[in-house]
């Protein structure tokens, strides 16, 4: 083993846990000094022959473990150093797992982006992370990621390596990289393991650096709350690069206990139900609109879903009426999960009374999670009153990566993350999410940053002022409405969509509704009054 002596440049702009809390998390056993790569290694030692990944390309734990090592050697053979960042953008395919563990074992930091991200997001994230590589699949549906990669590489010169799963086109076939070598770096469990992408509170997405220690705890403690065992089969229904299906408990929690993981690239009832039946899936996680769709689809889909024991629903608020439908329709336990890529996770527990499971978004995962509910002045509200949720703990970041100015607003001086979520806390500790103070539209579980969208809209030659707000929608929870003040002729919705798509904006961020306004209402201090816009412009 080589010590990880090379560069520590990846720590520039990283906000570490302060020494005091870090020592406490270690001595209390929340941080176990294990790397994510070791998590897989330990399971492979215990259960070499058990199935790790299901599907046409199924793999046992021993096979996956060896493959992850070979991948790691491949990244080293390309000269990708420990601490370097590589943007990963893969669909939900089994290869996601060996690629992830290969990078982790090489000490390379994956920047986990979603398949729906487009030029605007990927370029920004590649530039911000100074990525040296970009790993994509050749195509998904009618979208060609190699074309996107060419654009990204042209715009961000640090991206030296484009590795493609499938037909590489002008780039390098991921599977052609030589995979021999004799040593892999020693990994410091306190160091950055991977980077998640924030839902985006203001402007473009932020990078969330998670350490091995904190993320191993995130995954294993979540597995415990879900009573996950080696008999479980987890279906990755949401995009694998998102925190929820990745580690809550998701793919990593399942691997920690020796269960099996299956994948679907698309969550339609037809597709997902077939995967549940074929793989005898026991647990999966979805956003509320998908849960609603599945509950309705049992009426017309024939599939046998009897293996499913737990459906986790989170990412956006699940209405109580919809929560009540889940168990009768799917004959599986419902678990509400209120989490964030920044860290804090809340779960309803498997033995919670039905009332709490239906009407709350769960309680914190860890006894070491610190929660405050505060008013606009930052003072604690009375018990049961609504306020903003602030949190810190053993798996919640202390700052976004390379965002010092934003961090001074998003974190309190004593290290709490200001979630922007409005909650009420019940005597049991369960939280009810009642809204948000931050300016984000939650479109079916995908977060759309209003600031970012407005910036793109303002680039249109006819647009003088723009304001994006969420409007209630029966299916998506919220839909994207853009108010425009224009000089001259009002562009049509399809013109605006084409304009934004051309700028590389992801499809899920495109406005669903366009409204013309003569002027935008403002608050007393001159900020755009979004509340007034939502209430009818």
Report the interface residues with ligand OOB, using CB under 6 A: 199, 243-244, 248, 314-317, 336-341, 345, 361, 419, 421, 433, 436, 447
Q: How far is the CB of 203 from ligand OOB (least distance, A)?
A: 16
Residue 490 DSSP label = P
Q: How far is the CB of 217 from ligand OOB (least distance, A)?
A: 14
Place of tokens 């678990």: 335
Residue with Cβ nearer ligand OOB (67 or 214): 214
Q: Helix, strand, coil proportions of the chain in percent (round to 5)?
A: 30, 25, 40
Q: CA–CA separation, 138 vs 239, rounded Å?
A: 17
Q: CA–CA separation, 68 vs 62, rounded Å?
A: 10
Q: CA–CA separation, 456 vs 452, rounded Å?
A: 7
Residue with Cβ nearer ligand OOB (317 or 430): 317
Tokens representing 297 are: 């689809």
Q: How far is the CB of 500 from ligand OOB (least distance, A)?
A: 21
Estimate to the nearest angstrom the gap between the alpha carbon of 439 and the chain centroid.
18
Residue with Cβ nearer ligand OOB (189 or 315): 315
Q: How far is the CB of 215 from ligand OOB (least distance, A)?
A: 12
Residue 174 DSSP label = G
Tokens representing 10 are: 């990846």
Which residue(s) pair with 86 in the sheet? Answer: 110, 133
Contact between 198 and 342 (Cβ < 8 Å): yes
Residue with Cβ nearer ligand OOB (10 or 210): 210
Q: How far is the CB of 170 from ligand OOB (least distance, A)?
A: 33
Residue with Cβ nearer ligand OOB (291 or 496): 291
Q: How far is the CB of 422 from ligand OOB (least distance, A)?
A: 9
Q: CA–CA separation, 451 vs 471, rounded Å?
A: 16
Residue with Cβ nearer ligand OOB (81 or 327): 327
Tallying the residues shown for the chain, one arrives at: 537
Nearest residue relative to ligand OOB (C-beta): 339
Q: How far is the CB of 176 from ligand OOB (least distance, A)?
A: 34
Q: CA–CA separation, 210 vs 396, rounded Å?
A: 8
Residue with Cβ nearer ligand OOB (102 or 289): 289
What strands, in cross-sheet order, belong to the sheet with 161-165?
172-173, 161-165, 133-137, 85-89, 109-112, 192-197, 207-211
């Amino acid at each position: 083993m080589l010590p990880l002596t090379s560069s520590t440049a990846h720590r520039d702009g990283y906000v570490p846990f302060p020494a005091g809390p870090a020592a406490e998390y270690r001595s209390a056993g929340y941080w176990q000094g294990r790397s994510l790569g070791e998590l897989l290694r330990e399971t492979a030692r215990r259960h070499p022959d058990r199935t790790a990944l299901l599907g046409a390309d199924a793999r046992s734990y021993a096979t996956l473990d060896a493959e992850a090592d070979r991948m790691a050697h491949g990244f080293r053979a390309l000269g990708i150093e420990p601490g370097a960042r590589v943007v990963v953008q893969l669909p939900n395919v089994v290869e996601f797992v060996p690629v992830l563990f290969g990078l982790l074992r090489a000490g390379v930091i994956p920047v986990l982006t979603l398949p729906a991200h487009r030029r605007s997001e990927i370029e920004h994230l590649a530039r911000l992370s100074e990525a040296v590589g970009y790993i994509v699949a050749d195509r998904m549906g009618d979208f060609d990621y190699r074309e996107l990669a060419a654009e990204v590489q042209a715009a961000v010169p640090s991206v030296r390596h484009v590795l493609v799963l499938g037909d590489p086109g002008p780039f390098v076939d991921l599977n052609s990289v030589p995979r021999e070598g004799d040593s892999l770096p020693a990994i410091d469990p306190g160091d950055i393991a991977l980077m998640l992408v924030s839902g985006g509170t203001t402007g473009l997405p932020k990078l969330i650096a998670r350490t091995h220690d904190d993320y191993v705890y995130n995954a294993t403690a979540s597995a415990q709350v879900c009573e996950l065992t080696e008999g479980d089969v987890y279906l990755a229904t949401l995009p694998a690069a998102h925190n929820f299906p990745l580690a809550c408990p998701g793919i990593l929690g399942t691997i920690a206990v020796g269960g099996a993981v299956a994948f679907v690239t698309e969550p339609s009832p037809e597709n997902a139900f077939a995967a549940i039946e074929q793989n005898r899936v026991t647990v999966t996680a979805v956003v509320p609109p998908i849960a609603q769709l599945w509950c309705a689809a049992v009426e017309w889909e024939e599939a046998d879903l009897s293996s499913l024991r737990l459906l986790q629903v989170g990412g956006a608020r699940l209405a109580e009426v919809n929560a009540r439908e889940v168990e009768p329709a799917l004959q599986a336990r419902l678990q509400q999960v209120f989490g964030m890529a920044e860290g804090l996770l809340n779960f309803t527990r498997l033995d919670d009374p039905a009332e709490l499971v239906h009407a709350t978004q769960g309680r914190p995962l860890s006894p070491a999670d610190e929660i405050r509910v505060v008013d606009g002045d930052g003072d604690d509200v009375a018990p049961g009153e609504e306020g903003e949720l602030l949190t810190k703990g053993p798996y919640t970041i202390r700052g976004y990566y390379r965002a010092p100015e934003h961090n001074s607003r998003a974190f309190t001086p004593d290290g709490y993350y200001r979630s922007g979520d409005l909650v009420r806390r019940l005597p049991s500790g369960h939280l009810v999410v009642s809204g948000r103070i931050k300016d984000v539209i939650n479109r079916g579980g995908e977060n759309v940053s209003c600031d970012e969208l407005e910036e793109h809209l303002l680039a249109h030659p006819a647009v003088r002022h723009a304001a994006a707000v969420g409007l209630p929608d029966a299916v998506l929870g919220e839909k994207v409405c853009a108010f425009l003040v224009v000089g001259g002729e009002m562009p049509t919705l399809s013109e605006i969509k084409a304009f934004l798509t051309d700028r590389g904006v992801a499809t899920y961020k495109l406005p669903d509704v366009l409204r013309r306004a003569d002027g935008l209402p403002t608050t007393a201090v001159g900020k755009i009054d979004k509340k007034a816009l939502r209430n009818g412009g």
